[in-house]
Amino acid sequence: MSEEALKKATDLVKQKSFDDALDVLRPLVPQRDIHGPALYVMGYVYEKKGELARARYLYVQSLGSNPNQTVVLRRLEKFDKKYADAKSEIEAADFEDDSHQSCWSCDLRYPDSDSTCPYCGAPDEEPPDSVRDEVIEDATAMARNAKDQAGKLGRDLLDKVSNWVDAEEFEKAKAKAVEIGKKGADKAKAIADRDDVQHAAKRAKVLGEEAMTKAQHYVDDERDKYTKADEEGRKVLLLKWGGMFAVLLVLYWMFGPGGCL
């Protein structure tokens, strides 16, 4: 069961759901059979959240619970190289000083200002042995419930705002658009129905018909002129060729074989 929970936490880390991963990891931290791996994953979560001093502390504690964890040792070496520039700041967070207390449930140290252990969720005061597990479980559940309630309130507020925008603003905008469109249509109809506009439309129609008639007359006149010119040209051509033929006959008569000259 613990291994399944650890796998679930790892999957949440891959999905970058870091807070959800911490909720799954806290009940695992006090369990000695999986204490080291749980601390390692939790350290990785805090590293991704930017809490470098706490992340390194958890890596060291994980390695201390089981020095044979090669993956933790490599991660710690990589961590120190990656954050070498912040080494002094990380080392300044001394978890062994008097401003920190040791958790009665998981033995990890955390600031005195915290009312519960950030690693396992246990409260400051150690309860009787008979109710220890219940207290830890209740503390974890309370933290998870508080986060869920905050998320629900945020979603409800967002839904209310969205509904208000959808219901109020959208209806107002739609009504305004309909009103503007109706006014535009009424104005256009009123202009179209005016006597001067109607008269202008009729006048334009008459002028258009007159223009078409004149154009047709012009075309007909030009066609007649062309026909007449063609006929005159044919007559002139016939007269010209007829005269030339007559001259040729006279010349033949005068100078041809058996002519008179």
Kindly tell me if the per-residue pLDDT of 147 is higher than 60: no
Residue 215 backbone phi and psi in degrees, to 5: -65, -40
Beta strand ranges found along 138-220 (DSSP E):
none
13 and 90 housed in the same domain: yes
Q: What percent of the chain has pLDDT above 90? A: 40
Kindly tell me if the per-residue pLDDT of 179 is higher than 90: no
Residue range(s) defining the domain that contains residue 254: 194-261
**Domain with 95 in it: what CATH number?**
1.25.40.10
45 and 113 housed in the same domain: yes
Last residue in a domain, options 122, 140, 167: 122
Mean pLDDT of the chain: 77
Burial class (CB in 10 A: 0-12, 13-18, 19+), 26: buried
10 and 99 housed in the same domain: yes
112 and 84 housed in the same domain: yes
230 and 138 housed in the same domain: no
CB hemisphere CA count around 98 (13 angstroms): 0
Q: What is the mean pLDDT of residues 167-193?
A: 63
Last residue in a domain, options 75, 90, 122: 122
Q: Under a CB-based contact definition with an 8 Å cutoff, are residues 120 and 105 in contact?
A: yes
Lowest mean pLDDT among 52-61, 68-77, 110-119, 246-255: 246-255
38 and 105 housed in the same domain: yes
Kindly tell me if the per-residue pLDDT of 128 is higher than 90: no
Burial class (CB in 10 A: 0-12, 13-18, 19+), 163: exposed
199 and 217 housed in the same domain: yes
73 and 111 housed in the same domain: yes
99 and 33 housed in the same domain: yes
Last residue in a domain, options 72, 87, 122: 122
61 and 170 housed in the same domain: no
Query: 21-39, pLDDT tens digit by residue?
Result: 999 999 999 998 899 999 9
Kindly tell me if the per-residue pLDDT of 100 is higher than 90: yes
pLDDT band, residue 157 (cuts 50/70/90) = very low
209 and 248 housed in the same domain: yes
Handedness of CA 101, 102, 105, 107 (dihedral sign): positive
Residue type, 57: Y
pLDDT band, residue 189 (cuts 50/70/90) = low
What is the H or E stretch that residue 53 is in? helix 52-65
135 and 204 housed in the same domain: no
What is the model's pLDDT at position 168? 56
State how many domains the chain has. Answer: 3
Query: 202-245, pLDDT tens digit by residue?
Result: 776 776 677 677 767 766 777 777 677 677 777 777 777 777 77
